[in-house]
């Protein structure tokens, strides 16, 4: 009993002049940012799922950006921890769809009209993630023209090298022959598969001991690409479950659009080489 009292007395309780848990995390700001536009109970679920997803996306961008810097400096090993963390974050995002799927079609229809034309399609962080992974689409910039600062942020990202471009350059720095078309291309254009890139990755996979760090990088990218596809598939499935084939609130074709997105493959040569090994 005395030991319990001693432990209790050691707990700090006066935060009038010190940093507390809530103030460090700015919980007042975070937890007061859920503003329902309807009186429907389930709108709170809808808001929190999307807000939490945006926080996870912010961390993905933080990790991927740092990983790209490491790869461009030819210091690959620190990037492995960052990319492993990204794939774990992606698992959290994938799981979030199962929570959102508890929202039934009838429930969603009770507040869907309050959303106007706002849509997940407009998530600039999701767009930045896709750009960082190599899926560049210049036409999507028009969605952000209402905000000059945001437009510039997304436009700048469009013209930056993706993590896959950085990985290809890393292979070239190691002496693996890569076509100039793959090394000095328009970074804002969608990546197109290149035979020399596939051959370089095949060399890496056939000589793991010699190119262990490039091999490990490749497998980390495959992990991320796979998780991104799962996230997209679960997104599409959840949307179909809740709204069927209705047009999206942002004007997209809804499920039909999402099914086309699922067909896109990140890091194509890392998949095609598997057939040739």
Can you say which residues are annotated as belonging to the binding site?
A: 46-50, 108, 112, 235, 249
Q: Give the whole-angstrom CA distance, residue 178 versus residue 175.
A: 9
Mark the binding-site residues for substrate, compressed into ranges: 46-50, 108, 112, 249
Positions at the binding site for heme: 235
């Amino acid at each position: 009993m005395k030991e319990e009292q001693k432990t209790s007395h050691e707990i700090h309780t006066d935060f009038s002049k010190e940093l507390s848990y809530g103030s460090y995390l700015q919980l007042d700001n975070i937890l007061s940012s859920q503003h329902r536009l309807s009186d429907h109970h389930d709108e709170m679920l809808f808001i929190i799922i999307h807000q939490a997803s945006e926080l996870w996306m912010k961390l993905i961008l933080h990790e991927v950006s740092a990983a790209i810097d490491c790869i461009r400096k030819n210091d690959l090993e620190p990037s492995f921890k960052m990319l492993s963390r990204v794939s774990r974050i992606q698992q959290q995002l994938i799981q979030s769809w199962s929570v959102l799927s508890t929202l039934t079609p009838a429930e969603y229809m009770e507040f869907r009209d309050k959303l106007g034309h706002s849509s997940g399609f407009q998530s600039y962080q999701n767009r930045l993630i896709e750009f960082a992974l190599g899926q560049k689409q210049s036409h999507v910039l028009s969605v952000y023209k209402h905000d000059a600062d945001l437009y510039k942020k997304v436009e700048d990202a469009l013209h930056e090298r993706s993590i896959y471009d950085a990985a290809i350059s890393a292979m070239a720095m190691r002496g693996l022959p890569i076509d100039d078309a793959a090394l000095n291309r328009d970074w804002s254009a969608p990546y197109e598969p290149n035979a020399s890139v596939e051959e370089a990755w095949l060399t890496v996979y056939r000589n793991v001991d010699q190119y262990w760090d490039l091999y490990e990088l490749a497998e980390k990218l495959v992990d991320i690409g796979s998780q991104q596809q799962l996230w997209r598939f679960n997104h599409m499935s959840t949307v179909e479950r809740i709204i069927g084939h209705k047009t999206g609130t942002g004007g997209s074709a809804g499920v039909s659009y999402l099914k086309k997105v699922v067909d896109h493959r990140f890091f194509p040569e890392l998949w095609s080489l598997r057939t040739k090994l």
